[in-house]
Amino acid sequence: MWQHLEPGSSPVDWCEGNYLISPLIAEFVNTFSNVLFFLLPPVMMYLFREYARFVNPGIHVLWLLLIVVGISSAYFHATLSLIGQLLDELAILWIFMASFSMFFPRRFFPLLFHNDRKLFSLAAVVFALIATFLAVLHPIANAFALMTLGLPAFLLLIHELKRCESGRVYRLGIRCAAVWLLAVACWLNDRLFCETWLALNFPYLHALWHILIFIASYTALVLFAYFAVKEERPDTTPVLRYWPREDFELGVPYINNTMWRYLEPGSSPVDWCEGNYLISPNIAEFGNTVSNILFIVCPPLMMSLYQEYCQCVHRGIHALWVMLIFVGLCSAYFHATLSFIGQLLDEVAILWLLTAALCMFYPKRLFPTFVYCDRKLFSWTMGVSAVLFTALGVLKPIINSFALMVLGSGVIILLLLEIRSNIISVTYCFRMTGRMQRLGLRTVAVWVLAVACWIADRVLCDTLRSLHFPYLHAIWHILIFIASYTIIVIYSHAYVGAEFDNLAPILTYWPKDNFELGIPYITIHSTNKKN
């Protein structure tokens, strides 16, 4: 069994050359072409919120299964292992069966199901379990099951389109069928004419297949969701809409006649103390929007200052600066529009920044026992938790607020623990300098002041407006950026002591804290001695 987990154990190998771009990823382009499977399903979960509430909550299962398909496919193409191949094929099989269970028209049910969708769904689950068991024993059975399911789904789509009276839905269906045929053509060309495409220096048709089949898949799910409402809920009138613009038919389609309001300015239930549209007719909260400028301007400077640290210690440090920019952009968009989608983007961006920082700098001595002091396993655990909280936060935004409260407080508590451990420790070869310890205490003070501004803006708004200064939330943005930046600096400095202390005698580099014009940053010196 263990040999099936090894890279290259799958008998399937696609046209793209192996390990040409990265020594860790077999088929680099085929792996990263699955990115749409990760990015779009959360958007679809958001767009289909009202559909799930009033029609069928199971629609979210399909979007989650699309993410599983993307993860499985990326793992398979990154390793070319047999277990990866099985996971990829089984994920596709299960999304087929879930879709049939949810959307297959009752008028085509066999008589033995007595027009009962629950009984039909149970039969579909049994079929999927049998196919899964056979696929583990004989992988060729899985390929056969996928072939037998793909063609009926395509024919059913064509049949439903012929009955459709909406020109908009019909055009979307034709585009879906065309993209599906083009995707199949790419798949066949990659399998049958690999040498020709290698001669043309373009062995990436399977990557195109991933992109096209995702577009065809989610479009087909939208169409079948529309057909299901027409058949199951004749008392309602489903409307095909497009995001981000209603008149742009190449946008993201969804089914809803109420969801659009959450994308419009002012759709967020959150409104801060600053008056709306007082300074600019195009920006709701001008001060709160412009106060995010530090998140956008400063991180590129930090990326240039941290080049040596990135090369010698941890390459992921640049990801934190990029995520700070993303937080600033999302926050600016939210305060400029006060839209519900802007609120979600703002909260999710902060959630992922905190998660990434903990994955990178969380001390190994505090790891839970089940991760066995393995930072990669800890990072995977945190990443899965962040994905889960993101999905739940789309459905219940209060969950995002709770997660941010817990993670933000945890980061500050860890900072205090790190400072304390460096003060009392006598075993470290590497210890946090006095300047970094004082910076840490100032950071905690700035964080407390920022939280006080945030609370005062929410609780004492009437008083602030009477004083003609409703800008405490803008000050919160400035202070929380300063606190966030200095926390990253302190953790990046302490990370070396926590991770490499036992290697101190043989290290050829060492971090040094620097302060230029009051701005702290870390440089790396080529020396075996502490600086």
Known binding-site positions for Ca(2+): 13-14, 16, 18, 27
Q: Could you tell me the two tokens for 356?
A: 């990434």
For residue 341, give Cα distances in angstroms to 264, 289, 346, 348.
9, 16, 9, 10
Please give the annotated binding residues, written as ranges: 13-14, 16, 18, 27, 77, 206, 210
Q: What are phi and psi of 242, to 5 degrees?
A: -130, 140
Q: Could you tell me the two tokens for 192?
A: 């049958």
* Helix, strand, coil abundance in the chain, percent, nearest 5: 70, 5, 25
- Tell me if residue 512 falls in helix, strand or coil: strand
- The end-to-end CA distance of the chain, in Å, is 51
Q: How many helices (H) and strands (E) does the chain have?
A: 20, 4
DSSP 264-325: STT-SS---SSPTTSSBTTBSSHHHHHTTHHHHHHHHHHHHHTHHHHHHT-TTHHHHHHHHH
Please give the annotated binding residues for Zn(2+), written as ranges: 77, 206, 210
Strand partners, 519: 516
| Residues 364 and 375: beta-carbon distance below 8 Å | yes
CB count within 10 Å of CB 212 equals: 23
Place of tokens 């409402």: 229
Q: Could you tell me the two tokens for 421?
A: 């451990």
Q: Which residues lie below 8 Å from residue 381, measured CB to CB, with a gap of 6+?
A: 371
